[in-house]
Amino acid sequence: MYLALYRKYRPQNFDEMIGQKHIVQTLVNQIKHDKIGHAYLFCGSRGTGKTSTAKIFARAINCKNPQNGNPCDVCDTCKALKASNNIDILEIDAASNNGVDEIRDLREKVKYPPVNGKYKVYIIDEVHMLSPSAFNALLKTLEEPPAHAVFILATTEVHKLPATILSRCLRFDFSLVSVEELSGLLKKIFVKEGITAEDSAIEVIARAGEGSVRDTLSIADRCVSYSGDNLTFKNVTEVLGTTSRESLLNIGQTLLVGSIGDGLLELDKVLSSGKSPLILSKDLIEYFRDLLVIITLKDKAKTMIAVPDEVFDKMLVQADSDNYSKIVSFIYNLSEVEAELRYSNNPRIVLETAVIKSMNEVNVLGRIEKLEKVLAAGEFKKQEPNPLQNQSVKKEQSFEAETGVQEQTADEQVIVPTQNTNHTNSNLFGELLSFVKDRKEMSLLAVLRQTQGIVMENKDVVICVEDKMTQDLILRDKYKVVLSEFFDAKGLKYFVKIVNNDIKTGNLKDLAQAFDGKLTIKE
């Protein structure tokens, strides 16, 4: 009968464990110095080695001749403890034995000494599934167990355990295993199994395991069953259902240039082939993440991205620093709808809407970047002197230091029409820009700089914008926090409104008159 890889290659000693060095070293030291506790708590994500560690530790503390903290596996005790009829190491599944009666039965049996070794070990898996009454029944035994009894509790949801249980256990937190360690394990196993595999294929499997050894080996099993003894990058991506890199390259290119029509066509090609919108969304997030890594590390990013060299070269072209803000926008918007994609009856519509929203933002960001380049180059028309020049804002200082855009000259100052005398009219908008800059919200700062300015009436301040997209950008939750903090401190209430295009920021007289009743504001 075929034995699954995760069962066949379950660690038999501490030396075979991967990813939990701090835990292994602590347990080995306890065994060497014969300082065994009475209750241990192993917590962490699935497939990180909790149960395997518990079994190894249970045999090691009973071994007559432990080797560097490991069970020798040759003495009579080790052989007896590995037998199927062993009664000194008891595994209890709390998911199916979670009642108070089962724990009471355990309390009665725990008083009997071990048959073969020094300790009788109780491994309670998924201990968080115990009922409240079962926990209460277990509590006294954990507090004052017989000298020969050792309890090892394992759970993936430690937050569900009562504090009274936690306080009586020596806790160990198992971390997710790194991609590098999982890749190394896969290579060793494939050599033993006589399987050849491309490095990129191994890394894709390791990443898909998401830090779980068991999940990684299960995925490897599926891939081997599909492609035989020769694993390729292409075969692995087909098994996992991930989007091909060629498709991601095409989608990424259309999205980054802001071509909505072409972007939807590329999405349709992938979705029409049966690809899940949720998986495609995750693949796109991972793809854009890879582009950010390439922007940061350039050629050095090869060690962090599992793609063939020819694909990496194409991604290197897309990973232009000018695309940075666009890539961040796509990651943000796609991540924002992940839960909705998972449970929606129309996930395709959700994905397409998120993509269209991102591409519209890309177009807006493109306009902002174009404006900033014009300002940086000094290619702007000088504004005619205005009789109400005392109402213009002060130019913002040191903007170039953080964004690479030259600071404004006096000719670029934004006109702020207002009838409120409780604040310095010429400074309010400039103060807002400085405040936003100090909060390091550079994207909000860039958006505010392309607005039509602000209009103030008594305690109400209107931020005037030209279109719905700019309004939506400013009204993002994270930006609301910043704006509210600024205006609340001044006792003002702010609104973001779309104004008609006939009113221009540079014409103070028209804008001031418009606010008196002629300004067209769209809700």
Name the residue ranges covered by the structural domains of the chain: 5-174, 179-240, 245-368, 389-401+412-522
Alpha-carbon dihedral sign for residues 509, 515, 518, 523:
positive
Question: What separation in angstroms does the CA of 392 have from each of 261, 276, 324, 387, 462?
Answer: 42, 53, 33, 11, 16
CATH of 245-368, one of 3.30.230.10, 3.50.50.60, 1.20.272.10, 3.30.300.30: 1.20.272.10
CB count within 10 Å of CB 292 equals 16
pLDDT at 39: 92
pLDDT at 379: 57
DSSP helix/strand/coil, 46: coil
Is the pLDDT at 517 greater than 60, yes or no? no
Between 190-194, 212-216, 398-402, the lowest mean confidence (pLDDT) is in 398-402
Rounded distance between C-alpha atoms, residue 288 and residue 249, angstroms: 10
Is the pLDDT at 381 greater than 60, yes or no? no
pLDDT at 462: 82
Rounded average pLDDT over 15-36: 91
pLDDT at 427: 64
Is the pLDDT at 348 greater than 80, yes or no? yes
Q: Are strands 454-457 and 196-197 parallel, antiparallel or unpaired?
A: unpaired
pLDDT at 378: 58
Between 184-193, 329-338, 385-394, the lowest mean confidence (pLDDT) is in 385-394
Query: What are the pLDDT digits (tens) for 471-513?
Result: 877 888 888 888 888 888 888 888 888 876 444 443 434 444 4
Rounded average pLDDT over 154-172: 91
Is the pLDDT at 97 greater than 60, yes or no? yes
Rounded distance between C-alpha atoms, residue 313 and residue 229, angstroms: 29
pLDDT at 365: 66
Model confidence at 260, pLDDT cuts 50, 70, 90, reads confident
Residue 16 near residue 145, CB atoms below 8 Å: no
Architecture of the CATH domain 179-240: Orthogonal Bundle (1.10)
Q: Which two tokens stand for residue 33?
A: 């110095």
Model confidence at 216, pLDDT cuts 50, 70, 90, reads very high
Query: What are the pLDDT digits (tens) for 302-311?
Result: 777 777 777 8
**Within 13 Å of residue 24, how many CA atoms lie on the same side as its CB?**
20
Rounded average pLDDT over 358-387: 62
Name the nearest CA neighbour of 5 among 185, 174, 227, 246.
Answer: 185
Predicted model pTM: 0.61
Model confidence at 434, pLDDT cuts 50, 70, 90, reads confident
Rounded distance between C-alpha atoms, residue 294 and residue 475, angstroms: 31
**What would the CATH number be for the domain defined by 5-174?**
3.40.50.300
Query: What are the pLDDT digits (tens) for 58-85?
Result: 999 999 888 888 999 889 888 888 887 8
CB count within 10 Å of CB 103 equals 23
